[in-house]
Structure 1
Amino acid sequence: MLALHKFLMFLLLASLGRNADGSEIIDGANAPENSMPYMAAVFSGTNVVCGGFLIRDNFVLTAAHCHDFDVTHVVLGTNNVHGSDGVKISIEKTIKHKSCQTNNLLNGYDIMLLKLSTKVELGNKIQTIHLSTTEMNPSAKCKVAGWGATKSLGDVVDDLKVVDVSIINLQYCKSRWGHLPNNVICAGGDNTGKGICQGDSGGPLVCNRKAVGVVSFNDRKKCDYKENTDVPNVYTDVSKYLKWIETQIKANE
């Protein structure tokens, strides 16, 4: 019955069009080993359902809508989510932003903390990443990574993919979507030929070695990003939630 519930939830999210989550990496390449030691693969049972990133030795930041997949544990310290070298840690608690409406991500607040059941040992393979405290310059060059699909309607992948993307002017992004809140960042997608796809949700947008955004959503119907009808990819702006993150970590330590 639980498996059926998860399958039905996946179909529901897949049918929500532009209000649903983003996922896989488009036009990317395999990430070099140990190049992104803060990456976390977020699982529901045996399936990778989202990405995330380690910001404390026992806290992972991800997207709030990943909560709908009944997340169970994370795997850290590996690029291959089904390899033998990863560190598996169960999720003790999910701390979802109370204002997020997972059936309408256009309202924003798509951010969630995962408290891990134990503190992870930091080292060369597992590290935390600093969060950006300022808004990003529109000319910034950034990268996004994940285990999501590599083409429209594709399957998630075992090996971590990464792609370079550029920040897109928010006013232009709003005009393309028709409506967006002010607490988001746009990067990739549109007609750039590269960006996120289904399965990359919750992963970090990284600029100047800092996490500036959380993968939130794209137009789920297609991930090719080569036509003028495509829209930019949307991320939750981490700098707008620093106080919330700090408060929630202190309350749940």
Structure 2
Amino acid sequence: MLLTEHPPGKMLLLFLLSFALPPRAETGDIIGGHETKPHSRPYMAYLKIYGQESKSCGGFLIQEDVVMTAAHCNGRKIEVILGTNNIGKRRNWLMKISVNATFPHQGYNKDTFSNDIMLLKLREKVKLTKKINLLSLPDPLTHLEPGQLCSVAGWGQTTFKGKTSDKLMEVELKIQKEEKCKRIYNNYNSKTQLCAGDKKGGNIMKGDYGDPLVCDNVAQGIMTFRDKNGIFPGIYTRISFFMPWIKKTLKRICGNNLPQRKIKVILGTNNIGKIWNWPRKFSVKKTIPHEGYNKDTHSNDIMLLKALSSASLSKMDKFNRSNPSPLNHLHR
């Protein structure tokens, strides 16, 4: 700890601010907001996350089969609910869909919340309607001015100590000066993060993580963290900074929106010409090529294939039985 000489009152203020920093993320709130007009935000997604403990987050649809959210909203299993304003009324859920794969930013730091961005690949594409639709992403060169009015919506708390809301709530927030967040949060990075909201004009709290900060109908930020009392501004991942990563990851996930070719895997045969000798034939559930693969130079030319089902090992797999795969720990 670095100690410097300050007037007693100032040292006390610094001491109190250190307690305002969020030790860990939880789930988020809408403070000073109101219920949204039904289906006025058709891009909103409610995430049910299962892991060591169940939690919820927000997210938003950016492609028919891709949702964007915060990296700290990752979990062992994630279900996405689309097309509803009231999460408490199951009959109003237009779609509930499982997540096939998660793509958190490789530089995400759970302690500092840096690079807190993640893409979710849905099990299937959704049909876009007036009630389920996409949210636009920003230009990489976008610059937001302090005082600019934006908004955020979510199913978080509506009071400081209240329960999370079943209804989708929204609030208007102002972009704050970078210096304001730098004074409050030790790890704030103005290059990769945005500073928005306050107690006077509206803020987010527990339950709103992963929700989009929307400015002029464009997603500019992803809710990352806030102080526990909702007094100070919230911190949002600056989406414009991550546009190169987003485009690269989308290409990896979706092949630039081209239909993925079907891949079949045949195991256990020495003669591929004799179909009756194929003991095992599998469909590939997903392909995971190296993110640095270059089709021109063939550098990083490696890829993993996830089969639709597990193979049942036989005597022919004696080597594999005595040498377990180092990939057994990976999320399936």
TM-score by length of 1: 0.84
Aligned to 1:184: 193
Number of paired residues?
A: 228
Alignment of 1:128 onto 2:129: no
Aligned to 2:87: 81
Aligned to 1:37: 42
| Conserved? CA contact 2:20–2:227, under 8 Å | no
Shift of 1:19: 4.1
* AA at the equivalent of 1:184: Q
Aligned to 2:212: 204
Aligned to 1:20: 24
Distance 2:72 2:59 in 1: 12
Deviates more, 1:19-28 or 1:79-88: 19-28
* AA at the equivalent of 2:125: K
- Name the SS of the counterpart of 2:246 in structure 1: helix
Pairwise CA RMSD of aligned residues?
Answer: 2.0
Aligned to 1:117: 123
| Conserved? CA contact 1:42–1:71, under 8 Å | no
Shift of 1:157: 1.4
Question: What are the Cα deviations for residues 150-188 of structure 1, in whole angstroms up to 9, with x where unaligned?
Answer: 222432211100000100011222123244112100110
Determine which of 98, 121, 138 is the counterpart of 2:106. 98
| Conserved? CA contact 1:63–1:112, under 8 Å | yes
* AA at the equivalent of 2:164: V
| Conserved? CA contact 2:112–2:187, under 8 Å | no
TM-score by length of 2: 0.65
Alignment of 1:252 onto 2:253: yes
Shift of 1:48: 5.8
Q: Could you tell me the percent identity over the aligned residues?
A: 37
Aligned to 2:145: 137
* Inter-CA distance 218–97: structure 2 relative to 1 (3 Å threshold): same
| Conserved? CA contact 1:41–1:48, under 8 Å | no
Determine which of 42, 49, 57 is the counterpart of 2:64. 57
* AA at the equivalent of 2:236: Y
Distance 1:205 1:128 in 2: 14
Q: Which runs of 4+ in 1 moved over 6 A?
A: none
Aligned to 1:11: none
| Conserved? CA contact 1:146–1:199, under 8 Å | yes
Distance 2:34 2:234 in 1: 18
Deviates more, 1:16-25 or 1:77-86: 16-25
Shift of 1:70: 3.6
- Structure 1 unaligned blocks of 5 or more: 1-14, 226-230
Distance 2:212 2:83 in 1: 16
- Name the SS of the counterpart of 1:98 in structure 2: coil
Distance 2:76 2:20 in 1: 18
Shift of 1:206: 0.3
Shift of 1:249: 1.1
| Conserved? CA contact 2:173–2:201, under 8 Å | no
Between structure 1 and structure 2, the one with the greater Rg is 2
Shift of 1:104: 2.5
* AA at the equivalent of 2:73: C
Shift of 1:18: 1.9
